[in-house]
Structure 1
Amino acid sequence: MSPTLEELRRRELQGPDARIGNWLARRFARPAAIFGTWLAIRLGLSANQLTVASLAASLASAAAIGLGTRAGFISGAALGLLAFWLDRVDGQVARWRGTAGVNGVYLDYLMHHAATMTTGFALGFGLAARTGELSWAAAGFAVAMGWTFLSLQNDCRYKAFFQPLKRAPGSFRVDGGAGGRPAPPSPWPRRGRGMLTWPGYKASEPHAVLLAIVALAALAVVHGGAWSIAWRGYVMTMATLAPILAAGRIARTVVRGIVEEEFARWFRPIGRGDPTADDGCLGGRIRVRYRTGRDRDEHLGEGEHSWGTTPCRGSGTCPRCPENATGSASALSARGSSSGIATSSPMPTPNSESSA
């Protein structure tokens, strides 16, 4: 059954999730994608086909910008907007058909990283083609690497989560949303280092890059000389700024142990093998100690209790509760499918394990 435009609007543009995402997605891409979703469903297009179409538009955009001509740059900006729009259509189609899943997310992320790399390099290569100076190609490479390392932060962090999960014996409890749920964009910090770095990080986000390219394309229509100067200035700025920001974020993540802390929030060891577990149930407030040595208080609601560093919250998995006093680690693992418990598998053999 094909949806009406009004049904799609109610589903996609109302509710708390409508406030999630960047300005370009909330104000332009999602509302406009409703029409593309309506048409795609009637044409029988799948979400994955639309994701591939978005990737093709992104690569075509980079190729057009890399020509170094005014017409190519303007065409590249238009194709970039098309790719951004299709990237919203594919998600809406998947949600309507009930086909949304990790396979689609995987393909979507691959498309995003490919678009990030090619666009960054094309901005420098286009100037090299236009001026004959190969140093601009090197600048484009720096832009591409900076943007790519920034965009890979989350992917590499979550991939790192699975290394201890694959190797550790026993089971883990997974607390949904413990590591942070999607939220509206954070405001510009008014003090500290973030007051200086926040604009740079925002300027390096894909939607901000697209808006900058569209602005440059509009300038190319009006005044070719000013467009060429502004293009050079943008590439020089990003070739300097993006690698520095990427290196700073990586260093901050490693030094502060941010990945370890987030892993501890998502995955809680079950059983006496947890080195931070206490011997009895506590109440009111628990103190979580991360592997980095940092402590954080977690408050429990009325009538809730905990065992070790894990809030029980009536899940029936607490081995220290009277009703579960005879429970064993194997019994807890057996209930994993219904109580949010992840059981780690035995360590893979060298022939079956993928490289880190």
Structure 2
Amino acid sequence: MMLELALRHRFRGFALDVEIATRGPVLGVFGASGSGKTTLLHAIAGLLRPDAARIAVRGREVARVPGGAWTPPERRRFALVDQDALLFPHLGVRANLAFAPGARARLASEEGLRTLDVLRIAPLLDRGVASLSGGERQRVALARALLAAPELLLLDEPTSALDAELARDVLGLLLQLKRQLGTAMVFVTHRAPELLALADDCVVLAGGRVAAHGTPVDVLRRPRALGVASLAGVDNLLRLTALRSDARAGTTLLDLGHGMALAAPLCDALPGAPVDVGFYAEDVLLCLEAPRGTSGRNALACEAETVEPLGRDVLVALRVGATRVLARVTPGAAEELGLVPGLALVAVVKTSAVHLLGEAAGRSGT
């Protein structure tokens, strides 16, 4: 195993209880504020001594309590980049970078120079910490951690204070470290695309416990819990009523109102029972008329209610029966379709894109 974690610690009003084993080098940690993400990082780093713990990296045990070894933080060869980008305020940027173990030699190496280049550190080298912006402090803290060549890199929202372009560059650098050096990381973020790009394993924390664990695609693109789906940014979270199930077709029909129904994956919900489902807006295909010869089981007559630009896309709110559904299309597609409020459309949604959530997921047998 790459990383083995078993941590239990009780605070007043909060308890951390996590057990994870990963095979890939990068563990992504996802969760709402207060779910225990930063506490988990601090426990791994050794800044918090849990009531009970076992921590091993590549089979090397660094902590086992009670009754076993406890490697102090300074001897763990772990580097923590905290959300607050903690730097020594009495030292300049150059001295902060040199403070990392072995950093003086690496600063002059090709690898070290590339790190400084990607993070755009050179213009900051002769400045004092007090003069740095939040994003600049984050970049210096990340550079210092990387220059230490750690066995395990602990990252708490490392791109949160960066603009979009620099965040992409930093993500590219972390991907390079993973691919070329196999650097092990625990990566806390609230940005699902970053986890999908970087992480091999993904864990979702809720109330100090593991709410979901698996590959990022399984956890974020195919969520099974309502809370996880919400955190992952699933656009359409619907509580519908079961109409009937068809075992041969492998579907359960859910009531959208006004005689419309959504074909979801088969579950054993009884007619009239509530069923929670979710699907992404990008999985809703819009057409001017019902397509022929499509594998999509749901071709739903609908009307555009609102059409709004959203970043590089266009977000369309649809009225499907008595239910509001969101779709996401490109500006080119919006122009080609002539999307305006009131336009009659057909929304196509593959049954496989509809995720059963909560109790329905547990009853699906998948």
- TM-score after normalising by structure 1: 0.29
Q: Structure 2 length as normaliser, TM-score?
A: 0.28
Structure number with the higher strand fraction is: 2
Higher helix share: 1
